[in-house]
Amino acid sequence: MDVLIISNNPISSFELIKKIYSIGNFMQMKKLISIGTWIFVFTLLLVPCTASIAAYPVSVQDSKGNCLEFFKPPQKVVSLVPSATEILFKIGAKDFVKGITYHDVTLAGAAGKQIIGGFFLPYLDKIEDARPDMIILSSIHKDIIRKFEKPDCKLFFFKTRTIEDAFKSMAAFGKIFDRENEALKTIAENRAEIRHIKQKLAKIDNFKKKRVIRLMGKDSIMTPGSDSFQNEIIYAAGGIPPDFGKKGNIITVTKEEWMTFNPQVIYGCTPDKEAAKNFFSKPGWKDVDAIKNHQIYYFPCDLTCRASTHTGYFVSWLSSVIYTKEFSKPENNILPTGILHSKSLGIDLEYIKSVSIAYSNIYDFVNKTLIIDFKSPQSIVSTLEGQRDNITSIGNHFSPPPTWGPGYKHGIDHLKSSILKTIQRQKQTTSFLITGADMDNLSIQTQTYKNMTVYALVTAGVMGNAVRMSKDTGTFYEPGTINIIILTNMELSKRAMTRAIISVTEGKTAALEDMDIRSSYTPLINKATGTGTDNILVVQGSGLKIENTGGHTKMGEIIAKAVYAGVTEAVLKQNGILANRNIFQRLEERKISIYQLVTGADCGCEDKRSDFAALVEELLLDPEYAAFIESSLAISDEYEKGLIKNLNSFYAWCKKIADTIAGYEIEGIKDLVSDETIPRTIKTALDAIMNGAQARLNRNEKNTIPPQRPIPQRVISLSPFITEMIYLLNAQDLLIANTTYCNVPKEAKLKKKVGSVIQMNVEKIISLHPDLVIASPLSRAKQIKILENQDIKVLKIENPQTFPQMCDITMEISKVLGRTDLAKKIVEKAAKEVETIKLKTAYLPKKKVFIQIGIKPLHSANKETFINEYINYGGGINIAENEKSGIYSREKVLKENPAVILIATMGTSKKAGEIEKQRWKKFESLNAAKNNRIYVLDPELILSPTPITFAKGLKQVLSLIHPNVDLKK
């Protein structure tokens, strides 16, 4: 039922929602809404910029006070503000986001999102390609405001002057994307964390606040202005921020102001170390309490520079650093120590009694402990504790950052005893590892070989203290960032347990190397081999006795495989790092900021420096130039190790890249990168990009025609859908050859043939002298490499898995073939038709549908194919959606009993489809058979991944699932 709450006092809709959200049961709600009697009213609140919690349309205000009305959630959002992107991902709205900045790529779920540049210099063309219906931006994005200020694209201005501003924006996003509960929950969690710190500080006897300053700058000491949320964070953490009488995001601090304020605690994020390096040894600057007492701390920039979803978490961490001594005293705790709740995990081994993660209060903050209990005592080998016998419980304990200072002030033994007391285990029979990686990011991996089974339980974080052993200096010891527990279904001898440690270490290091995880101390020249605080625990187990777990044994092999998979997944969960990450992130991990390099480069372009910086970032968004820099990173590592002696061919490549960017042959590559700490190879590659950009700008300034890449005149297609796309773009005159499978449209059959989709005739391709070959994922890498070695340009196109990807690929191919205007019309028309159908089916009852696309074996489409979208968009439920592969059985179809069966069998005639239809009709218990809802579709239409054919196919599928829907109305 709908309830109108009537109160004698004014109450905002936002406060009202918070009250309802906080109510735990019906009786509490009764107290809130009772004014003498119950009043039930069904109503629509017609207050400007307020909306019902349940339905569209909704109206919200952005940070400028602009009122925006939404009739449905935006489907193609481009977010240029990292704080806003973080909020969208946190409240579960990431699927609505199409474009993000390169600052956002480590957010969980960011993989696959389109990178549109950085916050300061987003690339207009990339934004336009995304065809956004909403852009979240800042007032600095003036070009974007001018370009996209139009009815079909909402502009949401985002700015956080205060913490409360951030919460208001969270609530607004919750309304826009129908994620109000998630938004309110996030707000409540942050408020609770801030309130918790306030209560802790209030309990401290004779509490004296400390003077705290946020360090910023490089060539001068800077800090946020007095009106910044960053000073509000200091207040919330119990500190006294400076007030120099200056407002703004960032202000300059004089030496006199610095000394007069005399900070007792200084904090910043990693880039701010430059300011400390440049000033903290100088007279006056070094003569303050914080520097004298070594109270200087650095935190992740995502925490220090944002008021967003982790503000309460950062307030807690900062407060624990400022008041470590006070927080370490048990009498200042305000929460009882003990387990709050537990979550069970499944590990199927005979000797395991139970596996769970326990959530508990220790040192006044929520800790998380992986607990594995045995049915009978076990021997273990731990790199933290050595070999131990008669162990009945093992595990891995996560201490959150606010407990690091207070906990370790008492020493590791006190921390261990606190953990054991809380989880009610005995020291003599328990062995635990300790980590700073969140236990909710635990990876559990299984590997098997015949009757052997291995479980690897891995936590991993690599952003803070990754090292390369033999190269980096060890300066401190703190138990475990990458922690690995090994369980098997065999009994490992003592020798096998200790040998397993080597196999585990090699698997871990292989994963870090393959992901190019950099040393935190020497990232420019060294990959990490571990984090410097890693630990391993191997359990003896029970079963057949094993004496060896080395690299030449099957047990050693599957241990290493399980660890490799575990480290890879745990690093992704904890740090958001994938092997296939963008070039901006990989450079950032080497402490190389493209924005800082280009703004500091001696380009002789002071009046157009922003154009220069934007062009460099734009070039690095181009896959070709990104791959060039990626190659330079690999060459640099080998050159620094002495494995490459001569760089002449690399220098020639750099020159060629610079010439290509410039559009003509430049005289030579000048030193534009001023940072001499960057290795020679990487520096030269970056100089090549910048020299090319500088030359292109200079050429454009002289009123010459802007250099553009020539449209290829001799194109070969290695895939039927690419061929169809070329004809769709009216570029068939450029197509000189294709494969034997390319028969749509009919004219494609007349083109020369260069083999099949999988096996091309390389010699014939070379003999045709193409200037572009467009390949598919099925094209063999070795054959493509031969073509590239012949200086034949190869464009690799992925098979689209979704309709948006079809549109993106259409635009990508159109740019290469000089058909962007036509492509935009095609994509916009198809997108409009698809959106219309989605709106029509949004509130229709979902019918079970089975689509058959193969006969022997019976084959369907799972959620990783665009065919699945035909059913979802068309108002159905794909019964095979969650299958790992497309193979499906008739027994499963009969069990699911779909209302509709669609048949579009690949590579067969329509007659084959009719035979399949008759076969299904024999199953009289099937709803689809009983109601005559079995249909044969044209596979050349349904299986063709172009925007136009998808829109046509979707109309047909809709008409079969919901025949009463009239698209004309």
- For the stretch 77-93, pLDDT in tens is 999 999 999 999 999 99
Domain that holds residue 931: 830-961
Any idea what DSSP says for residue 521? Answer: S
| CA-to-CA dists, residue 536 to 392, 474, 516, 539, 573, angstroms | 17, 19, 22, 10, 20
CATH number of domain containing 320: 3.40.50.1980
What is the predicted pLDDT for the residue at 465? 63
Do 558 and 608 fall within a single domain?
no
pLDDT bracket for residue 420 (50, 70, 90): very high
Could you tell me the two tokens for 537?
């625990």
* Contact call for residues 100 and 79 (beta carbons, < 8 A): yes
What is the predicted pLDDT for the residue at 25? 36
Q: Which of 546, 575, 604 is the last residue of a domain?
A: 575
Do 261 and 366 fall within a single domain?
no
- Biggest CA–CA distance in the chain, Å, is 92
In a domain, 183, yes or no: no
* Contact call for residues 229 and 161 (beta carbons, < 8 A): yes
In a domain, 276, yes or no: yes
830-856 per-residue burial string, b: 16 or more CB within 10 A, e: under 16 = bbebbeebbebbeeeebbbbbbbbbbe
Do 209 and 294 fall within a single domain?
yes
Backbone angles phi, psi at 50, to 5 degrees: -130, 160
The gap between the terminal CA atoms of the chain, to the nearest Å, is: 31
The lowest-confidence range among 475-479, 758-762, 915-919 is 475-479
By 3-state DSSP, what share of the chain in percent is helix, strand and coil, each rounded to 5? 40, 20, 40
Mean pLDDT of the residues in the chain = 88
Can you tell me the mean pLDDT for 68-79? 94
Instruction: Please report, to the nearest 10 degrees, the dihedral formed by the alpha carbons of residues 401, 406, 408, 414 taken in order.
Output: -120
Strands 735-738 and 545-546: unpaired
In a domain, 908, yes or no: yes
Do 370 and 350 fall within a single domain?
yes
Read off the pLDDT of residues 159-169 as tens digits, 9 standing for 90 and up: 999 999 999 99
| CA-to-CA dists, residue 893 to 149, 292, 638, 928, 962, angstroms | 50, 74, 55, 11, 20
Can you tell me the mean pLDDT for 416-432? 94
pLDDT bracket for residue 9 (50, 70, 90): very low
- What is residue 135's three-state secondary structure? strand
pLDDT bracket for residue 847 (50, 70, 90): very high
* Burial grade of 139 (CB within 10 A; 0-12, 13-18, 19 or more): exposed
Could you tell me the two tokens for 914?
């009719």
The lowest-confidence range among 136-145, 403-412, 526-535, 570-579 is 403-412
- What span, in angstroms and rounded, lies between the C-alpha atoms of 926 and 900? 9
In a domain, 227, yes or no: yes
Backbone angles phi, psi at 252, to 5 degrees: -85, 140
In a domain, 48, yes or no: no
Do 531 and 467 fall within a single domain?
yes
Read off the pLDDT of residues 223-278 as tens digits, 9 standing for 90 and up: 999 999 999 999 999 999 999 999 998 999 999 999 999 999 999 998 899 899 99
Do 391 and 311 fall within a single domain?
no
Do 406 and 520 fall within a single domain?
yes
Can you tell me the mean pLDDT for 663-671? 88
Can you tell me the mean pLDDT for 433-449? 94
Q: Which of 543, 575, 607 is the last residue of a domain?
A: 575
In a domain, 307, yes or no: yes
CATH number of domain containing 493: 3.60.70
Task: Kindly state the helix (H) or strand (E) to which residue 850 belongs, with its residue range.
Answer: strand 847-852
pLDDT > 90 in the chain, percent: 69
What is the predicted pLDDT for the residue at 675? 86
710 preceded by cis ω (within 30°)?
no
- What span, in angstroms and rounded, lies between the C-alpha atoms of 877 and 841? 12
Read off the pLDDT of residues 446-481 as tens digits, 9 standing for 90 and up: 999 999 999 999 999 887 665 444 444 333 333 348
What is the predicted pLDDT for the residue at 450? 93
- Residue 589's nearest CA partner among 537, 540, 517 is 517
In a domain, 563, yes or no: yes
For the chain, the domain total comes to 5
pLDDT > 70 in the chain, percent: 91
* Contact call for residues 874 and 942 (beta carbons, < 8 A): no
Residue 596 has pLDDT above 90, yes or no: no
- What is residue 177's three-state secondary structure? coil
pLDDT bracket for residue 883 (50, 70, 90): confident
Beta bridge partners, 491, equal: 545
- What span, in angstroms and rounded, lies between the C-alpha atoms of 614 and 626? 15
Do 518 and 647 fall within a single domain?
no
- What span, in angstroms and rounded, lies between the C-alpha atoms of 483 and 372? 15
Q: Which of 516, 542, 575 is the last residue of a domain?
A: 575
Do 370 and 304 fall within a single domain?
no
Do 441 and 556 fall within a single domain?
yes
pLDDT bracket for residue 816 (50, 70, 90): very high
Q: Give the pTM.
A: 0.70
- What span, in angstroms and rounded, lies between the C-alpha atoms of 147 and 153? 10
Do 370 and 501 fall within a single domain?
yes
* Contact call for residues 420 and 339 (beta carbons, < 8 A): no
Could you tell me the two tokens for 339?
């387990």
Do 541 and 631 fall within a single domain?
no
In a domain, 810, yes or no: no
Can you tell me the mean pLDDT for 716-726? 95
Comparing 889 with 212, which gets the higher pLDDT? 212
